[in-house]
Chains A and B, each alone.
Chain A
């Protein structure tokens, strides 16, 4: 079983739609959680961190469910410019000296059509 799993998509939605991505992780010692965005042939860039209480940044809402070990990303009022691959990432602490390893899911591709 992969440490971090995502539905690869693609999700093909019209402009203005609401779309939700889910991601599950297997390591219960995971410390922190993130959503990254990756455009075609570009590097991943941090979209938002995911906090236990849930957090929102404009049209984007991220949530964490530690009991079920999944994180989610909700995008409201989709724009054409939201088309990209969304990667969830989980930070796993390696040692007491605070070194961490970031494990990525394989990404979910989003296509927003006019």
Chain B
């Protein structure tokens, strides 16, 4: 059974800092990995999707890496801003096809203070 763990559970940083969120998974036979953000009381917004054959994806100040063999992914946020405050979720689709189950981590609650 796939298990996804996110560390840290919560993070509070001053504006401008570069930061790293960690995600680990137990079954390395994944189809893809996705990072989402969730704002309070709202649904999830997709940030980045990394295919199993890829090592990283970048979007603006966000960079996500994937090391499938070790079961790890990191989300790097550069020059953090108060608007980045949200819960960040990592999700892994297990198996070799798009039919695999998507398993979410518990999330990292990020607070960026001015």
Same complex origin of A and B: no
Interfacial residues, chain A to chain B (CB-CB below 8 A) = none
